[in-house]
Amino acid sequence: MRNKRNIAVAISAILFSMAEMVSCTHASQVPTISFSKDIFPILKASCVLNSGCHLGGNGVNQDVNLDSAFAYNTIIVKKLVSTTNPPASLLYTEVRSNEMPPPPIPPMSASQQALILYWIQQGARNN
- pLDDT confidence of residue 63: 66
What integer is the mean pLDDT of 8-36? Answer: 59
Compare 42 and 20 and report the one with higher pLDDT.
42
Q: Considering the chain, what percentage of its residues have pLDDT values greater than 90?
A: 42
- pLDDT confidence of residue 38: 96
What integer is the mean pLDDT of 72-91? Answer: 93
Q: How far apart are CA 80 and CA 13, in angstroms?
A: 20
pTM: 0.72
| Residue 65: strand, helix, or coil | coil
What integer is the mean pLDDT of 10-20? Answer: 50
Q: Pick from 119, 127, 102, 123: which is nearest to 16 by CA?
A: 119
Q: In this structure, is the dihedral angle defined by the CA atoms of residues 54, 57, 59 and 61, taken in order, positive or negative?
A: positive
In sequence order, the 6+-apart residues with CB closer than 8 A to the CB of 106 are: 50
- pLDDT confidence of residue 95: 92
Largest separation between any pair of C-alpha atoms in the chain = 46
Q: How far apart are CA 117 and CA 12, in angstroms?
A: 12
Contact 115, 39 (CB under 8 A): yes
Contact 73, 63 (CB under 8 A): no
- pLDDT confidence of residue 25: 45
Asked if the model's pLDDT at residue 66 lies above 90, the reply is no
